[in-house]
Every structure is written in structure tokens, then in C-alpha cells.
Amino acid sequence: MPKPVVGFIGLGIMGRPMAIRLLEAGYELVVYDIDSKPEEALVARSAERGVSPKDVASRARVIITMLPDTQDVEQVVFGLEGVLGGIQEGSTLIDMSTISPLMAKRIAETAANAGFEALDAPVSGGDVGAQKGTLSIMVGGKQETFDTMLPILRVLGKNIVLCGENGAGQIVKACNQILVGVTIAGLAEALTLGSKAGVDPAKIVQVLSGGLARCGVLENRGMRMAEGDFEPGFRCRLHYKDLRIAISAGQDYGVSLSVTAIVHEMFKEMVLSGRGEYDHSGLLSLVQDRASINARKPR
């Protein structure tokens, strides 16, 4: 069976390497981004350029969106030149952004009424995971649709789990962002305490990585934090947004997220202090400020 033409909308830090992986796997790609530079980079690799989300949807059988926030997805899907205006019956829309579970459900309900399929499939793993195709992908939707789209998802990730019906993928992503954010905050405090006491942060990372505290944050961000390298792989402003979604979900389901709320406020402070473009591990700089330690800035 020939591979379907894939439309890819959103070519940022995560979307661009994901789209490249699909090209390298032999998929024909139609791409669109509000910034022409990443579009040009993909076109140079044999992708075709779309003039709008509507145009992309009319030319592809699988449409993937990878966008910053709920309102961006809403505009791209439901807007005047949105996906809904061009999507073909029998096509599949896979939203890999991190957005409100309620929006994911709205898209799925629209899909059911309009004759196409929809999956919410947010990811974890950052820019490195996007480049290597090792993303963790948490999916919400029908089993049959999931099974059909699995070959495409396997190009992009390794740990791919159908979590439940539409919206479940976004709920699990909120859970993921809670744990990642709280862990970054904890590591930031640990490194700051050790540094203020005169211990080499690299030694702290080395020791913690071999004990019960070892985790993905230590593995992927530990040494960068120790070196004060906050070049963005996943930006603070986006983690701030993700925790806002998690807190909103907590309100919807009657779950107290008191620790998450504290970390959410820390990311808010990062944004308000002009550090929203730092990598989320840059939360260390905020804790260091409070301890009167000079942090390095992104290169």
C-alpha cells in the first residue's frame, strides 16, 4: 500500500525535525508555517509548500498539526482558511500540539460529523527526541484510527500509547508536564543549594544520576543546568502554558494541584522577567536569583 501524502502544519523547534523525519522515511509532504524560513528549508528537501491550512488539508490524506497553544490550533482548524475548509472525507487529522483536552474533544466531535478521523497525540521528549524520532507520544482516539496511523507515529516516536478516547492524550500530556515541571523545580533547588554551599554542580548531577533521584530530567538537562546552558529545547513560556492547561483540567475534574500551582507561578515569573524564551531548565536561574547566585544566560 502506498504511503499517504502528509500535510504538516507548524514547523517550529519540534515540528521542523519531525517533518524532516517523515521526509526521510519516504512520505510526500505538504508543509505550512506562518514563518516562511522553515517552509523554505523543508521545500529544499523536496516537500511541497502549502499556502494555507485549508490548502494543505485539500492536498493531503493525513494532516499533522504541531502548534504552540490551544488558540493556535483552534484558528488553524476552524479559521477562515482552516483545515476544515479543505479536509477530504476519510482523511485523518492528528493534532500533536499540547492543548486543552476540551478542544481535542471539540475537534473529534467535528470530525465525526464531517466524515474524517481525529487523534490528539501530544508528545514529550523535546527537540532532541524530535530529531532522533524517540518522542513519547500519548494518543487519544479510536483504536482503529490509532492502528492505521501507527506507521507514521513510529517514524516520530518510540513510546507510543493509546491512552483512551479523544482528549485522553491531552490529559496524559498534562500529567507529564506536571511531573517534568515539578522535577525541574526540584533539581533547580538542589543544584542551587549545592552550589551555594560550594559543591561543583556537575558533581551533584553525577551523584544524583546514579541513585533513586535519577530521571529523564537529570539525563537530558542535568549537565546543561550545571553548566548554565539554557538554550531552548522547550521554552519556559510553553511550559507555563502547559501547566495552565493542567491546572484548568484539575479544576474541571475536582483535583487539587497545589504543588503544580507553585511551579506554574515560578514559570510565570520567568515569563514576566523576560526569560520566557529560556529552556524550561532555565527555571534554575530564577532559584539562583533568589539565592543571590549569578546564572548564565542562553548563548
pLDDT in tens, 162-191: 999 999 999 999 999 999 999 999 999 999
Q: How far apart are CA 114 and CA 260, in angstroms?
A: 38
Residue 295 lies in a domain: no
Q: How far apart are CA 62 and CA 174, in angstroms?
A: 25
Q: What is the mean pLDDT of residues 77-103?
A: 97
pLDDT the model gives residue 126: 85
| Final residue belonging to a domain, choices 139, 165, 191 | 165
Residues 183 and 255 in one domain: yes
Residue 296 lies in a domain: no
pTM: 0.91
Residues 98 and 159 in one domain: yes
Q: What is the phi/psi pair of residue 80, to 5°? A: -60, -40
Residues 137 and 202 in one domain: no
Domain count for the chain, please give it.
2
pLDDT the model gives residue 254: 96
Residues 55 and 153 in one domain: yes
Residues 146 and 123 in one domain: yes
Q: How far apart are CA 62 and CA 44, in angstroms?
A: 21
Q: What is the mean pLDDT of the chain?
A: 95
Residues 75 and 193 in one domain: no
- Whether 54 sits among the annotated catalytic residues: the reply is no
Residues 131 and 15 in one domain: yes
Q: What is the mean pLDDT of residues 108-117?
A: 97
Q: What is the mean pLDDT of residues 91-112?
A: 97
Residue pLDDT, tens place only, 223-249: 999 999 999 989 999 999 999 999 999
Specify the higher pLDDT residue, 187 or 293. 187
Reply yes or no on whether the pLDDT at 295 is more than 80: no
Q: What is the mean pLDDT of residues 127-131?
A: 92
| Final residue belonging to a domain, choices 134, 165, 196 | 165
| Final residue belonging to a domain, choices 144, 165, 186 | 165
Residues 157 and 203 in one domain: no
Q: What is the CATH number of the domain that holds 271?
A: 1.10.1040.10
- pLDDT classification of 1: cutoffs 50, 70, 90: confident
**Residue 106 CB contacts under 8 Å (≥ 6 apart), including other chains:** none
DSSP 2: P
Residues 29 and 161 in one domain: yes
- pLDDT classification of 294: cutoffs 50, 70, 90: confident
Which one from 54, 105, 173, 241 is the annotated catalytic residue?
173
pLDDT the model gives residue 142: 98
Residues 130 and 70 in one domain: yes
- pLDDT classification of 95: cutoffs 50, 70, 90: very high
Reply yes or no on whether the pLDDT at 21 is more than 80: yes
Determine the structural domain holding residue 92 and report its residue range: 6-165
Residues 177 and 154 in one domain: no
Residues 134 and 248 in one domain: no
CB 204 within 8 A of CB 226: yes
**Residue 279 CB contacts under 8 Å (≥ 6 apart), including other chains:** 221, 224, 230, 231, 232, 233, 234, 235, 236, 298
